[in-house]
Amino acid sequence: MIARLFALLLALPLTAEAEEMQFDFACLGNAVEGCYVIAKGQIVADTPQKFTAFMQRESPEGNKVLLESHGGSLAAGVTLGRMFRAREMHTVVGSGAPVIAREGFPDPAICASACAYAFLGGQTRTLPQGSQLGFHRFFIPGTRIDEASAQSLSGELISYIVAMGVDARVFSLASTKGEDEMHYVSTEEAEAYELITPYGYQAFFLEPYGKGVVAASKRKTRTEAYDLVVQMTAFCKKGEARLLFHAPQHGLGHARPEDLILTHDGQRTVVPASRSKIRVTKDGAYIETRLSPAQASSVASATKLGTAYQFPRVVGGSYGTYFELSDMDRSMLRAAFRLCL
């Protein structure tokens, strides 16, 4: 019975005005991080097969897929989501029209119903400002699903949601809506139910180090192309304040140090390359930079802090971080620099 219902779900017809999902590929410039697979249109029974054929034929660069669709086949959407996860793709709700036209970044778009379940398959997921992600109760036109079958189908969907690393409570958002109603998630819901992948770094923590402490912050998500730092550590050594950046995957084996660009609350400071060194081990690359007292003070008092080494793209590009520092973060950074300032 469940297999038959999923077969029906797979075969849901297109709405009159919708076109089947098509796939395209486009890049902004020659940077792989600006490349997108563009998926637009109604999800139908053979959409997953068309996606596989497209990927084999085009071998697109990067791992981002832009989704713009009002839905279609739920089962095909789930299958598409599993394919995204198998390829470790980054799903983004957005329109690829400006990218294809080389006019700019993706525009906001809607990804709803079956598309929302495909979106969940992303290894990382982004819902840009202005874009909408919508859920509603699953149904099959002209077919009444008995309670036992509905429960089994619900179990299948919840298992998929959990396997994708999303809070199972998101299923309740869909279940509370009727066949013709859509619940578009708020930013708060998207974060609370882990529908989107948090970006940036965690709160700083302290660990003992010599006669003082170190303050460190770890990345919330995995690295991406040209965004390779997983941890920044602040500490004192030989009377100087220092920052240490760890990049497990890198191209810095024979690279020479570069300037470190510090941005703190709108101010920009350059730390010369001569004050940095690179150490490469089996655990990755470590870039350590010595700060002046004024620079250390600026770091420890900032509310918004950015760091970036301007390495050539061939060795990984800009190894950098960005923090929105809380009062506690600043207290920890001051504690780490206490013996230097």
Least confident window among 54-63, 174-183, 216-225: 174-183
Total domains present in the chain? 2
Cβ atoms of 17 and 45 closer than 8 Å: no
Dist. CA 158–CA 215, nearest whole Å: 39
Are 141 and 112 contained in the same domain? yes
Are 142 and 256 contained in the same domain? no
Q: Among 192, 225, 250, which residue terminates a domain? A: 192
Are 176 and 237 contained in the same domain? no
Residue closest to 317 by CA, chosen among 243, 246, 250: 250
Residue with tokens 């965004």: 227
Dist. CA 66–CA 43, nearest whole Å: 14
Dist. CA 263–CA 260, nearest whole Å: 10
Kindly state whether residue 198 falls inside one of the protein's structural domains: no
Are 24 and 164 contained in the same domain? yes
- pLDDT higher than 80, residue 31: no
Least confident window among 114-118, 137-141, 176-180: 137-141
Mean pLDDT in residue range 176-203: 85
- pLDDT higher than 50, residue 173: yes
Dist. CA 316–CA 319, nearest whole Å: 7
When pLDDT is cut at 50, 70 and 90, the band that residue 14 belongs to is very low
pLDDT given at position 231: 97
Kindly state whether residue 14 falls inside one of the protein's structural domains: yes
pLDDT given at position 238: 92
Range of the domain at 214: 205-336
Are 170 and 247 contained in the same domain? no
Kindly state whether residue 199 falls inside one of the protein's structural domains: no
- pLDDT higher than 50, residue 281: yes
Least confident window among 137-141, 273-277, 299-303: 137-141
The type of residue at 54 is F
When pLDDT is cut at 50, 70 and 90, the band that residue 137 belongs to is low
CA distances from 322 to 144, 264, 307 (A): 52, 10, 6
Are 324 and 264 contained in the same domain? yes
Kindly state whether residue 197 falls inside one of the protein's structural domains: no
pLDDT in tens, 322-339: 999 999 999 999 999 998
- Per DSSP, 226 falls in state T
The type of residue at 310 is Q
When pLDDT is cut at 50, 70 and 90, the band that residue 152 belongs to is low
Tokens of 33: 């991080």
pLDDT given at position 156: 84
pLDDT given at position 217: 97
Residue closest to 98 by CA, chosen among 41, 54, 36, 21: 36
Are 234 and 166 contained in the same domain? no
Tokens of 171: 């299923």
Phi, psi of 207 (to 5 degrees): -140, 150
Are 181 and 263 contained in the same domain? no
Cβ atoms of 198 and 216 closer than 8 Å: no
CB atoms within 10 A of CB 200: 12
Are 169 and 79 contained in the same domain? yes
Kindly state whether residue 96 falls inside one of the protein's structural domains: yes
pLDDT given at position 339: 86
Mean pLDDT in residue range 182-206: 91
Are 138 and 223 contained in the same domain? no
When pLDDT is cut at 50, 70 and 90, the band that residue 267 belongs to is very high
Q: Among 139, 169, 192, which residue terminates a domain? A: 192
When pLDDT is cut at 50, 70 and 90, the band that residue 179 belongs to is low
Residue with tokens 């919330």: 220
Kindly state whether residue 200 falls inside one of the protein's structural domains: no
pLDDT given at position 67: 98
Q: Among 136, 167, 192, which residue terminates a domain? A: 192
CATH (domain of 280):
2.60.40
Dist. CA 189–CA 92, nearest whole Å: 17
Kindly state whether residue 108 falls inside one of the protein's structural domains: yes
Taking all residues of the chain, what is their mean pLDDT, rounded to a whole number? 88
Provide, rounded to the nearest whole percent, the portion of the chain with pLDDT above 90. 69
pLDDT in tens, 285-320: 999 999 999 999 999 999 999 999 989 888 988 899
- Per DSSP, 326 falls in state -
Beta bridge partners of 339: none
Are 233 and 173 contained in the same domain? no
- pLDDT higher than 50, residue 3: no
For 20, residues 6+ apart whose C-beta sits below 8 A from its C-beta are 14, 41, 42, 44, 47
- pLDDT higher than 70, residue 177: no
CATH (domain of 42):
3.90.226
Dist. CA 233–CA 246, nearest whole Å: 9
Cβ atoms of 76 and 104 closer than 8 Å: no
- pLDDT higher than 60, residue 2: no
- pLDDT higher than 70, residue 176: no
Kindly state whether residue 231 falls inside one of the protein's structural domains: yes
CA 182 to centroid of chain Cα atoms: 25
Are 186 and 220 contained in the same domain? no
pLDDT in tens, 57-97: 999 988 999 999 999 998 999 999 999 999 999 999 999 99
pLDDT in tens, 223-258: 877 889 999 999 999 999 999 999 998 999 989 999
pLDDT given at position 15: 47
